[in-house]
Amino acid sequence: MNTVQPGTPPSDDDATEILDTPDSGPDPGRVSHALGRLVLAATPMGQIDDASPRLRAALQTADIVAAEDTRRARSLAAALDVEIGGRLVSYYDQVEAARTPGLVSAIAEGQTVLLITDAGMPSVSDPGYRVVVACADAGLPVTALPGPSAVTTALAVSALPSERFCFEGFAPRKPGARAAWLRELVAQPRTAVFFESPHRLADTLVAAAEILGPDRRAAVCREMTKTYEEVRRGPLAELAEWAADGVRGEITVVIAGAVAAEPDVDDLADRAEELVAGGMRLKDACAEVTQGSGASRRDVYQQVLERRRADPG
């Protein structure tokens, strides 16, 4: 997960790391693979031991390592006791568009490009989407080295339903946009997962409690896998009160989906009668009003017949 905000790009402290144009050719000192490919690799969120052996090997063997922050990439390699074997280039939000053609060109020439971000899986609210699309459009191989993900980790420890969920990226910053976004979740049956900045968390939870209801269950996962990991579970109103004192660290929020209301057969029978009065056949009307409601057409049909028998006039 990347909490670096737009307008504050990571430092690119080595001018030799820049990959400017599609014409940037391969390093003659490197041995390229016969078939180039893009490799998306998940990196640890906090515990270095979460790094996979495949990530270690990829850092050593890739022709190009494209990193969200080159300094963090070097620190990662040092922590893993490996050396980055290929060319290290920066690939963060503000340079994605400019750097993508050069990476695609290198892959087309037979090189392996390893893409890593500061933590978690590339392209999940982190750089990566552009180059994946460009490679797919060019018919070039794209693969992944799976590993840590803030989204699925938070979902797993939230104690909320996980069979179906939606990932919402970062919560909108501005109050109006945030309220509109939360209203979209009012009837969403899936568990929702999103990232939030620690200094906006309290406001977001307050708004969520107002719009989704104070009793909607949620979990705030802070500093996952790190020394001060904390998972707070409870109703939105309770979590908002807790967050009011200030929260630090990287935050992932999980909110339970809406509980579907039991369909009201009487109301559906009323609507079916209205459609019949407009000229629709009763069976068709019952099918129409129960579509997507979870109610049985047969039950609505029987309810209408019972009403007619009780009040023939």
Supply the angle between the helices 282-290 and 297-310 in degrees, to the nearest 10: 130
What's the distance, CA 286 to chain centroid? Answer: 39
- Which residues fall within 8 angstroms of residue 311, CB to CB, at 6 or more apart? none
SS3 state at 147: coil
Could you tell me which of 110, 59, 56 has the C-alpha nearest to residue 85?
59
Q: Decide: 9 and 95 in contact? Cβ < 8 Å.
A: yes
User: What residues form DSSP beta bridges with 195?
Assistant: 170, 252
Specify the pLDDT at position 295. Answer: 83
**One pLDDT digit (tens) per residue for the chain, 313 residues:** 544 443 445 554 443 343 444 444 444 334 344 579 999 999 999 999 999 999 999 999 999 999 999 999 999 999 999 999 999 999 999 999 999 999 999 999 999 999 999 999 999 889 999 999 999 999 999 999 999 999 999 999 999 999 999 999 999 999 999 999 999 999 899 999 999 999 999 999 999 999 999 999 999 999 999 999 999 999 999 999 999 999 999 999 999 999 876 778 898 999 999 999 999 999 999 999 988 677 889 999 999 999 888 887 6
Could you tell me which of 169, 95, 177 has the C-alpha nearest to residue 128?
95
HSE, CB side, 13 Å, CA atoms: give it for residue 4. 17
| Burial group, residue 167, by CB count within 10 angstroms (0-12, 13-18, 19+) | middle
Q: Which residues of 211-234 are buried (b: 16+ CB within 10 A; e: fewer)?
A: bbeeebbbbbbbbbeeeeeebebe
HSE, CB side, 13 Å, CA atoms: give it for residue 190. 11
- What is the pTM for the complete model shown? 0.74
Specify the pLDDT at position 35. Answer: 73
Q: Decide: 194 and 205 in contact? Cβ < 8 Å.
A: no
What does the DSSP assignment read for 85-110?
-SEEEE--GGGHHHHHHHHHHHHHTT
Q: Decide: 205 and 255 in contact? Cβ < 8 Å.
A: no
Handedness of CA 281, 282, 287, 289 (dihedral sign): positive
Specify the pLDDT at position 34. Answer: 55
